Amino acid sequence: MKSVLIALALLAAAAGRAAAQPGYVPAPENIEARERFRDHRFGIFIHWGLYALLGDGEWAMHNKNIECGEYARLADAFCPSRFSAREWARAVREAGAGYLCFTSRHHDGFSLFDSDASGYNSADATPFARDAVGELAEACREQGLDLHLYYSHLDWSRSDYWPLGRTGHGTGRTGGGEWDSYLGFMESQLTELLTRYGPIGAIWFDGYWDRDEEPGGLEPERWNLYGQYELIHRLQPACLIGNNHHMNPFPGEDIQIFERDIPGENLYGYSEQDIGTLPLETCQTMNRSWGYRITDTDYKSTEELIRYLVRTAGMDANLLLNVGPRPDGSLPDQALERLRGMGRWLERYGESIRGTRGGVVAPHGWGVTTQRGNRLYVHVLDASDPRVFVPYGGNRLLSAVRMADGSAVRFTSTPEGVVLTLAGEPDPTDEIIVLTYKNEIE
Ligand code: GLC
């Protein structure tokens, strides 16, 4: 193993790039940022770019085999009359979320920031002529939100993204073995993102899987992954790195991402990875799409979304819930309504989610638990049986109360745990019982 690492380091050095991350020891400020991240428990994802104009999701270019030169003409029409970074940040704050993750550049290759490394960006190539990331950075600061930046490894427009991966074959890219130039381009952009906008909470990579059919296509050296990670941590040691590669985390990553699955589930098919020890995050759509899709009105209800957040917190993970703004920059009404509804719920019950950790009691048929200090929050999501057995003993239970109204809940302690007896009409969204113990819950 050691000789492999040395060989890799030599290879990287030969290519003029540092492969520093295998021995990665997170800086103290990074460790602190991880806890801050976990405390948030809830963030909002925003997918927005030229594709919004087509109203068919962020994969429209690939799905419709749009030639990249023609696709780029969308930039001439990118003039979102209702874009307001402030309104976005306010909506995220009102939802009770602690951070906003924004697509600084998606697979189509268009950057939503003023980039010297590529003129194909919102400030230089559009009548809009504004730096969306810059405006968001300021708005997030005003609202006390952390700003995370999604950044695509994959690019359907650049000819130096070569050899092609398995997507975007119909976009007319002509290649020429300039992979190193592509790596250099990404390094320049990452440097811009980490030096021009103040503290960045996280870089959220995506698209690494594009080369999974190529021998060695998922080797970190191929992507200079460790060089990128080293660069990010050098520029901002506290910046968290996550990569939606659907694999077990690579050294240098600070959070582990699950796509459309709560850790431990694999309903969507991308979550075969192990649950590791890094802070966890599940990203999920509010309807069925990430980028704006004009025909997609299949929104999950506010109650469903709240229950999803609760179940995610019960697995000790954050929920990154997506919104896809319209082409004019406004947030869809259905999304706003849900953000507000979740915010109202969190105002009342946020104590049982934010700042908590997944509870000592693993998820059961009746629901999940979260905990903080000497309090265990029992989230009863299925109250069909009014008697709920919470298998946690060895710590004296002082009180059990309904979070909704503070009324006492009957309980019987046994050495193995406690049996709660729910009375009255339990809240069908989430009936929360707060158990206060004598000692800190280990
Ligand atoms: C997938 C999709 C991408 C989306 C991401 C969000 O990787 O390819 O379009 O941005 O999921 O999780």
Quick check: CB of 58 below 6 Å from ligand 1? yes
Of 252, 220, 355, 197, which is closest to residue 30 (Cα–Cα)?
252
Quick check: CB of 259 below 6 Å from ligand 1? yes
CATH code for the domain of 153: 3.20.20.80
Testing ligand 1's pocket by substitution, the residue of 290, 292, 296, 320 carrying the most ligand atoms inside 8 A of its CB is 290
Q: How far apart are CA 38 and CA 153, in angstroms?
A: 25
Residue type, 415: P
Two tokens, residue 439: 């000692």
pTM for the whole thing?
0.95
Quick check: CB of 210 below 6 Å from ligand 1? no
Question: Are 60 and 164 members of one domain?
Answer: yes
Distance 310 CA to ligand 1 centre (A): 23
CATH code for the domain of 376: 2.60.40.1180
Quick check: CB of 206 below 6 Å from ligand 1? yes
Two tokens, residue 39: 């405390």
Give the contacts of 279 (CB within 8 A, at least 6 positions apart): 34, 37, 38, 240, 254, 255, 256, 318
Testing ligand 1's pocket by substitution, the residue of 103, 206, 255 carrying the most ligand atoms inside 8 A of its CB is 206
Nearest ligand 1 atom, CA 106 = 10
Give the pLDDT confidence of 305-351 residue by residue, as tens digits: 999 999 999 999 999 999 999 999 999 999 999 999 999 999 999 99
Question: Are 177 and 140 members of one domain?
Answer: yes
Question: Are 300 and 375 members of one domain?
Answer: no
Domain that holds residue 212: 2-356
Residue-level pLDDT at 20 = 57
Asked if residue 173 belongs to a domain, the reply is: yes
Answer for the pair 85, 112: CB distance below 8 angstroms, yes or no: no
Angle, helices 179-195/225-235, rounded to nearest 10 degrees: 20
Question: Are 253 and 369 members of one domain?
Answer: no
Question: Are 342 and 428 members of one domain?
Answer: no
Answer for the pair 369, 376: CB distance below 8 angstroms, yes or no: yes
pLDDT means per 10 residues in the chain (442 residues)?
Answer: 40 43 92 98 99 98 98 98 98 98 99 98 98 99 99 97 95 88 98 98 98 96 97 98 97 98 94 95 98 98 98 98 98 98 98 98 98 98 97 96 98 96 96 98 93
Residue 288: how many other CB atoms lie within 10 Å: 12
Question: Are 352 and 364 members of one domain?
Answer: no
Nearest ligand 1 atom, CA 207 = 7
Beta bridge partners of 231: none
Answer for the pair 60, 338: CB distance below 8 angstroms, yes or no: no
Question: Are 201 and 325 members of one domain?
Answer: yes
Residue type, 245: H
**Number of structural domains in the chain:** 2
Give the pLDDT confidence of 281-303 residue by residue, as tens digits: 999 999 999 999 999 999 999 99
Nearest ligand 1 atom, CA 58 = 9
Question: Are 144 and 170 members of one domain?
Answer: yes
Residue-level pLDDT at 12 = 41
Question: Are 392 and 338 members of one domain?
Answer: no
Give nearest CA residue, ligand 1 atom 12: 259
Testing ligand 1's pocket by substitution, the residue of 209, 244, 286 carrying the most ligand atoms inside 8 A of its CB is 244
Residue-level pLDDT at 174 = 83
Distance 106 CA to ligand 1 centre (A): 9
Distance 65 CA to ligand 1 centre (A): 18
Asked if residue 442 belongs to a domain, the reply is: no
